[in-house]
Amino acid sequence: MPRDRDPLVVGRVIGDVLDPFARSISLRVNYSNKEVNNGCELKPSQVVNQPRVDIGGDDLRTFYTLIMVDPDAPSPSDPNLREYLHWLVTDIPATTGASFGQEVVCYESPRPTVGIHRFVFILFRQLGRQTVFAPGWRQNFNTKDFAELYNLGLPVAAVYFNCQRETSGRRPR
């Protein structure tokens, strides 16, 4: 896909969170059998529990780290908590899923209060097993710095969805 048509670029995920990278491993995220496609909208009630994450690759001895962040916390027009870490799973063997890894930071349900937030899943290849550790806190997480700190290199896959506060009674546009 040409660079400027890539949904990750158009949606500013590449820019706000990540540097340009080449996808090399498949990453499938499913919330109750609803697959996450870039830029799709999900309701907070649909993403309360952690999704099923399946990754590709071929060698079971290669381990991957999955990061889920909200770059629009607390509000997209003033993201002073960018990025907010929602989930961190390490040591995921290739061809398996997040349930086979180590949940280093437990899944926190998205609960956007103001504006429409992006929630980004990023997959990194680890150099070895048990080489990635939890940060001190969730807010103001920096994926790029984190990757540099633990020698994760550039991402191998990423996908994101949009989510806003659920309103009751208002007719959707």
Partner 1 sequence: MLIFKSFSICSSPLKSMEEMWNDINLSSLHHPHRSSSTTTTAQTFHFQDLFSKPLLSYKDQPPPNDVSSAGDTISFGFGSLSQQRTSLSLNSDSELGFKFLETSAFLVKKPALDSPACDKKRVQQNSDDSSEVKRKRLMKNRESAARSRARKQAYTNELEHKVAHLRKENARIKNQLTQFYLAAPTALEVPKKRTLYRTLTAPF
Instruction: Work out how close the CB of 118 gets to partner 1 at its nearest, in angstroms, rounded to a whole number.
Output: 8
Closest CB 23 distance from partner 1, rounded Å:
12
Q: Backbone phi, then psi, for 89, in 5-degree steps?
A: -125, 130
Q: Is the Cβ of residue 117 or residue 125 nearer to partner 1 in the bound state?
A: 117
Residue 73 amino acid letter: A
Q: Distance between CA atoms of 48 and 65, rounded to whole angstroms?
A: 21
Nearest approach in angstroms of CB 11 to partner 1 is 4
Residue (11 or 135) nearer to partner 1, CB: 11
Q: How far is the CB of 135 from partner 1 (least distance, A)?
A: 19
Name the residues that contact partner 1, by CB under 8 A.
Answer: 1, 5-8, 10-12, 15, 37-40, 76-77, 80, 115-116, 162
Cβ distance to partner 1 smaller for residue 7 or 93: 7
Nearest to partner 1 of 81, 104 (CB atom) = 81
Closest contact distance (angstroms) between CB of 38 and partner 1 is 4
* Strands 27-31 vs 157-164: parallel, antiparallel or unpaired: unpaired
Q: What is the DSSP string of 32-97?
A: TTEE--TTEEE-GGGSSSPPEEEE--S-TT-EEEEEEEETT-SBTTB-TTPSEEEEEEEEEETTSB
Query: How far is Cα 64 from Cα 126, in angstroms, rounded to an integer?
Result: 5
What per-residue string of b and e applies to 115-137 under the rule 16 or more CB within 10 Å gives b? eebbbbbbbbbbeeeeebeebee
Q: Of the two residues 1 and 22, which places its CB atom closer to partner 1 in the complex?
A: 1
